[in-house]
Amino acid sequence: MWGRLRSFDRSVRLLMLNQLTINIGFYMLMPYLAGHLSTGLGMTAATIGLVLGVRNLSQQGLFLLGGTLADRYGYRPLIIAGCLLRTAGFALLAFAATLPALLVASTMTGLAGALFNPAVRAYLANQAGERRLEAFAMFNVFYQAGILAGPLLGLALMSVDFRLVCLVAAALFAALSVVQIRALPPCRAGAVPTGGVLAHWRAVLVNRPFALFSLAMAGSYVLSFQIYLALPLQLGATGAVSVLFILSALVAIAGQLRITDWARARWTGPQAITRGLVLMAAAFLPVAAQAAAWPHSAVLRLAAVLACAVMLTVATTLTYPFEMDTVVALSGGHLIATHYGLYNTVAGIGIALGNLLTGALLDTRPGAAPWLVLSALGLGCALAMAGLNRRGRLTDLTPKTVRRPGLSERSTPGHAEAGDTEHTSSAGPQR
Residues in the chain: 431
Report CA-CA distances (Å) from 375 to 229, 262, 312, 381, 385.
15, 25, 11, 10, 15
Q: Which of 120, 115, 23 is nearest to 62 (CA)?
A: 115
Higher pLDDT, residue 321 or 189: 321
In this model, does residue 97 exceed pLDDT 80? yes
CA 223 to chain centre: 13
The CA distance from 262 to 258, in Å, is 6
Residue range 173-178: average pLDDT?
Answer: 95
Contacts of 406 (CB under 8 A, 6+ apart): 412, 413
pLDDT at 413 exceeding the cut of 60 = no
Burial class (CB in 10 A: 0-12, 13-18, 19+), 159: exposed
From first CA to last CA, the distance across the chain in angstroms is 22
pLDDT of residue 430: 34
Give the list of residues 6+ apart from residue 30 with CB closer than 8 angstroms, or none: none
Measured distance CA(140)–CA(137) in Å, rounded: 5
Q: Among residues 128, 117, 23, which one has the least CA distance to residue 79?
A: 117
Cβ–Cβ under 8 Å, residues 381 and 219: yes
Q: From 301, 298, 299, select the one nearest 371 (Cα to Cα).
A: 301
pLDDT of 67-79, one tens digit each? Answer: 999 998 999 999 9
Mean pLDDT of 118-143: 92
Question: Other CB atoms closer than 10 Å to residue 167's CB: what's the count?
Answer: 18
Distance (Å) of CA 256 to CA 151, 259, 314, 373: 21, 5, 8, 28
- In 158-276, DSSP assigns E strands to none
Greater model confidence, 301 or 229: 301
Q: What is the mean pLDDT of residues 136-164?
A: 92
pLDDT value at 401 more than 80: no
The full set of domains in the chain, from first to last, is: 1-188 (1.20.1250.20), 197-394+410-416 (1.20.1250.20)
pTM score of the predicted model: 0.84
pLDDT in tens, 184-210: 988 866 656 667 788 889 989 999 999
Burial of 247 (0-12, 13-18, 19+ CB in 10 A): middle
The string of pLDDT tens digits covering residues 265-306 is 999 999 999 999 999 999 999 999 999 999 889 899 999 999
